[in-house]
């Protein structure tokens, strides 16, 4: 439901609606139970710190590869009703790292600024950040963001861009989320904030 910007009651509806957030782990070994997925839970833990508004998670673990990730993204966006999908894994240069390719295959619009900001933040910590190929974009009313696979990198990357996420979700009609100001102050233009 796309918000009516100048009617206060519409914001109440949006704010009370629970946001469904998809967490998708792309990993051959985790999908085969060779090792425990720690990246997906790391995203959920960070979301628990970040979000003050109602939300619930839709979580999947799939093998690396274009088809497996593409299929999961389409399901989460089109059938599960996720307003936000966060992927983890498969963003490096290895042959099986194909999450960005799968993501680009399902997007209506690419949002390259997310990847640029995440790499910039990571580069301040490790020189290998330039090897990361994560991207982001919009499918319908869903924002999809690729994150790396390591929990520490997930935190760095998600905090680097999350200030823009709430307003992006509003603009695409995905709904409203509110964040913990101690971790993230979302940017909303004055006019939008004033009509809330």
Residue 142: what are its φ and ψ, rounded to 5°? -125, 130
User: How far apart are alpha carbons 134 and 39 in whole angstroms?
Assistant: 15
Secondary structure class of 136 (helix, strand, coil)? strand
Of 149, 154, 65, 162, whose CA–CA distance to 105 is shortest? 65
Whether 2 is in a domain gets the answer no
Whether 100 is in a domain gets the answer yes
Whether 109 is in a domain gets the answer yes
pTM of the model: 0.89
Contact by Cβ (8 Å): 122, 129? yes
Whether 128 is in a domain gets the answer yes
Q: CATH number of the domain at 172, please.
A: 3.40.980.10
Give pLDDT tens digits along the chain (196 positions): 334 333 333 444 445 589 999 999 999 989 888 889 999 999 999 999 999 999 999 999 999 999 999 999 999 999 999 999 999 999 999 999 999 999 999 999 999 999 999 999 999 999 999 999 999 999 999 999 999 999 999 999 999 999 999 999 999 999 999 999 999 999 988 755 545 5
Whether 3 is in a domain gets the answer no
Whether 1 is in a domain gets the answer no
Task: Give the range of the structural domain holding residue 102, as residue numbers without chain letter.
Answer: 8-194
Domain total for the chain? 1
């Amino acid at each position: 439901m796309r918000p009516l910007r100048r009617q206060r009651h519409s914001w109440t509806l949006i704010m009370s609606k629970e946001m469904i957030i998809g967490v998708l782990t792309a990993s051959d070994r985790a999908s085969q139970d060779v090792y425990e997925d720690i990246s997906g839970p790391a995203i959920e833990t960070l979301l628990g710190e970040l979000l003050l508004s109602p939300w619930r998670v839709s979580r999947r673990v799939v093998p690396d590869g274009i088809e497996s990730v593409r299929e999961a993204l389409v399901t989460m966006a089109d059938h599960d009703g996720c307003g936000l999908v966060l992927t983890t894994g498969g963003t490096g240069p290895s042959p099986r790292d194909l999450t960005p390719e799968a993501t680009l295959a399902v997007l209506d619009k690419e949002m390259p600024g997310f990847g640029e900001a995440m790499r910039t933040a990571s580069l301040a910590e490790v020189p290998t950040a330039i090897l990361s190929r994560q991207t982001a974009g919009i499918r319908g009313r869903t924002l999809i963001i690729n994150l790396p696979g390591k929990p520490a990198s997930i935190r760095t990357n998600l905090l680097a861009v999350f200030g823009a996420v709430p307003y992006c979700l509003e603009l695409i009609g995905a709904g409203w989320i509110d964040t913990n100001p101690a971790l993230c102050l979302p940017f909303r233009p004055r006019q939008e904030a004033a009509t809330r």
